[in-house]
Amino acid sequence: MLSALSNIFKIPELRQRVIFTLIMFAVFRMGTHIPVPGVDPTAIEQLFNNGSLFGLLDLFSGGAFSKFSIFAMSITPYINAAIIMQLLTVVVPTLEQWSKEGAEGHKKTTKVTRQLTVVLAFLQAIGMSIGLKAAILNPNPVNILIIAITLTAGTTLLMWIGEQITAQGVGNGISLIIFAGIVAALPKNIGTMYQYLRAGTINYFSVLLFVIIAVAMIVFVIYVEAAYRRVPITYAKRVVGARGFGGHSSHIPLKVNQAGVIPIIFASSVLMFPITVVQFIDIPEVQKVAAYLQWGTPLQTSIYVVLIIFFTYFYTAVTVKIPDMADNLKKYGGFVPGIRPGQPTADYIDHVLTRLTLAGSVFLAFIAVLPTLMGGLTHIQGIYFGGTALLIVVSVALHTMKQIEAMVVMRHYEGFMR
C-alpha cells in the first residue's frame, strides 16, 4: 500500500494537485479558529449541551460552529443552493434548457448557484445571529449585521476554496471540505472516549464493542456504496456506407444508493429545525410536546425513518430521468433484451429502480439511526459516529481515491485498487 501511495509523488501534475489540496485544507482549518467579533464563546458552548441541530452543524463545520468562527456556517448554504437548483431544474424550463447545453449551460447554472448561495448564507446568518442574540456581547442591529456579513463572507470564501480544489486539486472540493471537517473531529472524539474511561463512565468492553461496530459499519457502507445493478443493453448493428456500427452489448449501472446522503440531510433538517426553535420558546406546554420529538426518542426515530424513505424516493424520482434514458437508448439503437424500446423500456427501468430505491432507502434509514443504536449498545454518549458523517466520509474517500487511481493508471503506474 505504501508503494502504491508513493506513485502519487512520481507524477508531477498529481503531486502538485495533492499538495494544493492539502494547502487548502490548512487554510480551512486555520479559518475555524478565527472568531467572529462581538460574540461570547462561553455562551455559545453552553448551547451545545442541548445537542440537536447544533451538534450536527458543528460536526459538518469541523468544530467552527462551537467556536463561532468565520466558518461557523460551513458550506451548508452552498449545498442547500445546489439542491434547490437541482430540484428547480425539473420545473423551470430555462434551467432545464441550461442542463442540456453542456459546458456553457453548466457555467450559467454555477453562476446562479453562487448567487443563491450568498443570499441563503446571508439569510441564515441573520437568523443565526438573532437566534443566538444571548451570546452577542452588544446585540444591537449594527452588530448583528456585522456578524451576519462576517459569516456570509466566511461561507463565500469556503465556496471559493471548494471550487479551487475541484479545479486545481483532487476530488470534489465541496465534498472534501465537509470530509475534512468531519475527520477533524476524530481526535476530539477519541479524547472524549479516553476521559470517559478515566472517569469510569464506560469500560474497556464498551470501547472494544464500539470499535468492532465502527469497523463493521465502515465495511458495510463501502460495500453498499460500491454496489449497483447492471441493466443489460444490446445495440443493433447498423451499416453506414462501408462501415458497420453497433452490434455490441453493454449495461446501464444503477446504484443501490442512488440518492446519496441527501435524504438524510433533508429528513434531519425537517426534524431538527422545530426542535431547535422550541429551545428558545419558554412555554411549558410547548416544551412537553417537544420532549416527544427529542433526538433518540421512539417517536422521533420512527418519523425519521419514514422521512428518509420518502425523501429517498422523492430525490431519486427528481434526479434520475428515466424517460430520457429510454429515449436515448431508442435513438442510438439500444434496447434491453426481451423488452420493446420506448415506453416499455422506461417502465422496466422504473420497476428495477423502484426496487433498488427501496433497498437504498432502508440502508440510509439504518445508517441514520446507527448513532442511537450504538449509544444504546455501548453506552457511549456524546460521540458523533455513523449516519450522515459516516456516509459522507466513505463516499468522498471512495470518489477521491477513484479519481487519483484514474490519474495514476493513465500514466501507466500501478494504482491503489488491485
For residue 24, pLDDT over 60 is answered with yes
Q: pLDDT higher for 122 or 416?
A: 122
37 pLDDT higher than 90:
no
CB 377 within 8 A of CB 209: yes
Residue 156 has pLDDT above 90, yes or no: yes
**Higher pLDDT among residues 40 and 51, named by residue:** 40
Which pLDDT does position 7 carry in this prediction? 66
pLDDT band at 386 (very low <50, low <70, confident <90, very high): low
Question: Residue 322 has what pLDDT?
Answer: 86
Which comes out higher in pLDDT, residue 66 or 347? 347
Q: Please, which pLDDT band fits residue 9 given cuts at 50, 70 and 90?
A: confident
Reported as a pLDDT band with limits 50, 70 and 90, residue 398 is confident
Lowest model confidence (mean pLDDT) among 47-56, 80-89, 188-197, 335-344 = 47-56
pLDDT, mean over the chain: 79
pLDDT (mean) for 305-330: 86
Q: Residue 161's pLDDT is what?
A: 92
In 3-state terms, what secondary structure has residue 230? strand
Own/partner contacts of 183-191, CB < 8 Å, gap of 24 or more, are 183/393, 184/29, 184/32, 184/62, 184/63, 185/59, 185/62, 185/63, 185/384, 188/63, 189/383, 189/384, 189/385
Q: What is the pTM of this model?
A: 0.77
Better-scored residue on pLDDT, 24 or 240 = 24
CB neighbourhood size of 298 (10 A): 8
Q: What are the tens digits of pLDDT across the range 293-311?
A: 776 677 878 888 898 899 8
* pLDDT tens, residue by residue, 105-144: 888 888 999 999 999 889 888 887 877 777 777 778 888 8
Lowest mean pLDDT among 161-165, 207-211, 253-257, 288-292: 288-292
Residue 216 CB neighbours (<10 A): 10
- Residue 153 has a pLDDT of 92
Per cent of the chain over pLDDT 70 is 80
What pLDDT score does 157 carry? 92
Map grid coordinates 469497523 to a residue.
Answer: 215
User: Is the pLDDT confidence value at 369 over 50?
Assistant: yes
pLDDT at position 51:
47
Confidence at residue 68, expressed as pLDDT on a 0 to 100 scale: 79
Placement of cell 494544493 in the chain: 20
User: Residue 152: what pLDDT?
Assistant: 92
| Contact yes or no for 175/396 (Cβ under 8 A) | yes
Buried b (16+ CB within 10 A) or exposed e, 80-111: bbbbebbeebeeeeebeebbeeeeeeeeebee
Identify which has the larger pLDDT, 356 or 404. Answer: 356
Confidence of residue 89 (pLDDT cuts 50, 70, 90): confident
82-96, 158-172, 231-245, 339-353: least confidently modelled range: 231-245
